[in-house]
Amino acid sequence: MIKRTLLFESKCSITTRLEQLIIKTDQREASIPIEDIGYILLEHRESYISIPAIEKLAQNNTAVIFCDSKHMPHSMLLNLNAHHLQHEIFTHQIQASEPLKKQLWQQTIKAKITNQAHLLERIGHTESPLLHYASKVLSDDSDNREAAAASYYWKHLFKFDFKRERAGEYPNLFLNYGYIVLRAAVARALSGSGLLNTLGIHHRNKYNAFCLADDIMEPYRPLVDAKVLEIVEKHDTTELSSAIKMDLLSVLTQTVYYNDKKSPLMVALNTTTSSLQQCYMGESRKLIFPLLWN
């Protein structure tokens, strides 16, 4: 089942009654079954959400995302008890060997570069070297094929001069917003698979509470890039408007592909995080990432 994403830009009150989320604004009142909700983004700084509502949303493994004064996603609530084998999974994750983590990172970067290559191909760059780069990724990406691929990718993605920087010029802001939302979706899936978001495969920043989400989202980033390409062509603005936010949020309902089937992104994320859990538990050594386009 595809979960709903709710964006609240205006002041509202969110409570719960009979397994429904009750949303009140100055204009209207509405109710939504909590089981249907995957993500909530709260932008207005005077919005209210009750503790019982937070509790039930957490039980449903709903990611509740709060925005800062600039209306950018800033922090998130997640269920810390989303799996019945939580302690056992945490233990195996913490004790994962370095060779296993290096192999997992190799698989992750190969999948990322492959999806970047397919996006460039979709927009006409058929002579891209990225598939070759992907085939040469070593354990732990020790010769940094990710950086070589990124250098080529960002030079050819847009039809204008562009430098990918977190605080850079248009359309970096659109990319940032999309990546933050994607990060929340990955964190939600990891939590649902009983994994500890803080403990990454490759990312190890001591100030980052979502290192593992930052690792696992890498092959999915081109979905956001593709959406930003569409937005640049469709919207004649550099401002992060409500319409553009909704466009970026629609990434969460996009279809992705495996060899023999297709899947909504939300389901695919669960497949990926479940495969990672199995790798940590010693039941597999293969991470399952989809192709983002067929």
Give the residue-averaged pLDDT of 250-270.
Answer: 91
Q: Is 252 domain-assigned?
A: yes
Sign, CA torsion 31/32/35/37: negative
Check whether 253 has a pLDDT greater than 70.
yes
pLDDT digits (tens, 9 = 90+) for 21-73: 999 998 899 999 999 998 899 999 899 999 999 999 988 888 899 998 888 88
The pLDDT tens digits for 123-177 are: 999 889 999 999 999 999 999 999 999 999 999 999 899 999 988 999 999 999 9
212 lies in some domain: yes
Q: Is residue 125 part of a domain?
A: yes
Per-residue pLDDT of 72-121, as tens digits, reads 888 888 777 766 677 899 999 999 999 999 999 999 999 999 999 999 99
The pLDDT assigned to 114 comes to: 97
Q: What are phi and psi of 211, to 5 degrees?
A: -60, -40
Query: Measuring CA to CA, which residue among 7, 6, 24 is closest to residue 15?
Result: 24
Residues 6+ apart with CB under 8 A from 203: 211, 212, 214, 215
pLDDT bin (cut points 50, 70, 90) of residue 291 is very high
Average pLDDT over residues 2-13: 91
Is residue 118 assigned to a domain? Answer: yes
Q: For position 84, what pLDDT does the model report?
A: 66
Which of 221, 200, 219, 201 shows the shortest CA–CA distance to 210?
200
Residue 218's CATH number: 1.20.120.920
- For the chain, what percent of residues have pLDDT higher than 70? 98
Residue 205 has pLDDT above 80, yes or no: no
* pLDDT at residue 82 in the model: 62
Q: State how many domains the chain has.
A: 2
Does one domain contain both 154 and 52? no
Both ends of the chain: CA-CA distance in Å? 22
| 117 and 65 together in one domain | no
Q: Which helix or strand (DSSP H or E) is residue 110 part of?
A: helix 98-122
Average pLDDT, the chain: 92
The confidence score (pLDDT) of residue 190 equals 93
Q: Provide the pLDDT for residue 37.
A: 93
CA-based nearest residue to 230, from 156, 158, 155 = 158
Whether 51 and 92 map to the same domain: the answer is: no
Stronger pLDDT, 79 or 277, i.e. the higher one: 277
**150 in a structural domain:** yes
Q: Classify residue 258: in a domain, yes or no.
A: yes
Q: 52: domain range?
A: 4-77
**pLDDT for the residue 2:** 75
CATH of the domain at 65: 3.100.10.20
Q: Region 216-221: what's the mean pLDDT?
A: 98
